[in-house]
Amino acid sequence: MTERPAALRGLPLLEDLGPLEGKRVLVRTDFNVPLENTPSGRVIADDMRIRATLPTLQWLQSQGASVVCCSHLGRPKGEVVDEFSMAPVAARVAELVPGVEVMENLRFDPRETANDPTLVAELIRGFDAYVNDAFGVSHRAHASVVGPPAFLPSAAGRLLEKEVEVLGSLLLTPRRPFVAIVGGAKVVDKLGVLKALSQKADAIIVGGGMAFTFLAAQGRQVGGSLLDATRLDDCRELLQGPAEILLPSDVVALEPGASFGPGKHDGEVRTFSGDLDEGWMGLDVGPDSTKRFAAAISAAGTVLWNGPMGVFEDPRFERGTRELGEAVAASNATSVVGGGDSARAVDEFGLADRISFLSTGGGASLEFLEFGDLPALAALRHAINAPEE
């Protein structure tokens, strides 16, 4: 028997479920797909998350199992909300994998997010096995995520298995140099993963709004850019190493009082090298920064990207994110892109097929990289059929 990668040891996989002929299997999926309104009703705008689960669902059916999926959709906050009905999802699943059923939205019931054991008992009633193929919610200690493995033979689905294997390899055995790219708006949201990556990566490229707190920690004037003055000491600590922190040397900024975002066109845009003038808001990394970052990426053996370099939804501030994405796609590195905004940027710029692995988890990816584990994975490792580590 082939030895499992270190990241998967102790985690039950589909093959650990035993014979499934004639058995009913409950599969926790992440069918939280985007919906849009049309004259004929609510329809799915992008079915990628449904298609990502097909290998698991089709394998279970091939083993003779009856398959029922459960998922959340949107944030109905424990109430039945028609716009978050799973009906469009169930219809699409029926087209892609006939015979697979889909339960109604788990989060119509407040007991789901409360991890209520009474809901767990109701969910598993009549089922012989449980599969978690919802990496995107595996950082949530919700009833459908952590409850069933305590009572049923359980396993990670193919999607969850791949996520853990790929992200686990980043933590355990990355090809060197390992370059992490971390962007986004708020530094507080990424401090934990930055501290974890500083112990693993050789270099960390920091962009997006969060970069300005790092620049301020170096004594730079950041004008009206996003700044979290309560995190300056944390940034100074990270700048001391052990990983090299690469920050923007120039910034594309918008004049005071102007607006930005999709469809916005007002205000002067200027590139600053060094300090920003008072009131000017940095909204993208500049061309010199992009060249420096691209050089680091081209020399990397492994690249992890989570978070855009700027407000790429506004064409005036998309260049940094687009050119960085092109550098990742052109590199010979093993490239992993995680996080909703990063994945969306890669898709919009037509780069997805040149990325080694697109993670389906935003917050889940970050928590796994920070802590090396997730509540759902811990629950699976304690299932009655879990292999010995």
pLDDT in tens, 5-54: 888 999 999 999 999 999 999 999 999 998 888 888 889 988 989 999 99
Q: How far apart are CA 132 and CA 109, in angstroms?
A: 19
Q: What is the pLDDT of residue 228?
A: 95
pLDDT in tens, 78-131: 999 999 999 999 999 999 999 999 999 999 999 999 999 999 999 999 999 999
pLDDT in tens, 263-293: 888 999 999 998 999 999 999 999 999 999 9
DSSP, collapsed to helix, strand or coil, labels residue 7 as helix
Q: Which residue segments constitute the domains of the chain, with CATH numbers given?
A: 6-160+373-381 (3.40.50.1260), 176-332 (3.40.50.1260)
Catalytic residue list contains 274: no
Catalytic residue list contains 363: yes
Asked if 129 and 101 count as a contact pair (C-beta separation under 8 A), the reply is no
Q: Which of 23, 28, 49, 107 is catalytic?
A: 49
Catalytic residue list contains 157: no
Q: What is the pLDDT of residue 362?
A: 78
Q: Which of 78, 301, 363, 372 is catalytic?
A: 363
Q: Which of 4, 186, 195, 316 is catalytic?
A: 186
Confidence of residue 2 (pLDDT cuts 50, 70, 90): low
pLDDT over 70 for what percent of the chain? 99
Q: What is the pLDDT of residue 96?
A: 97
CB atoms within 10 A of CB 176: 11
CA separation (Å) from 2 to 5, 35, 150, 371, 373? 9, 42, 27, 27, 23
CA-closest candidate to residue 4, choices 170, 171, 200, 164: 164
Confidence of residue 150 (pLDDT cuts 50, 70, 90): very high
Q: Which of 10, 74, 340, 372 is catalytic?
A: 340
CA separation (Å) from 94 to 57, 99, 107, 130, 230? 12, 7, 22, 20, 51
pTM for the model stands at: 0.87
Measured N-to-C along each axis, helices 287-298 and 319-330 cross at an angle, to the nearest 10 degrees, of: 20
Q: What angle do CA 265, 340, 67 make, to 5 degrees?
A: 140
Catalytic residue list contains 41: no
CA separation (Å) from 352 to 204, 344, 356, 357, 385? 22, 9, 9, 9, 36
Q: What is the pLDDT of residue 95?
A: 97
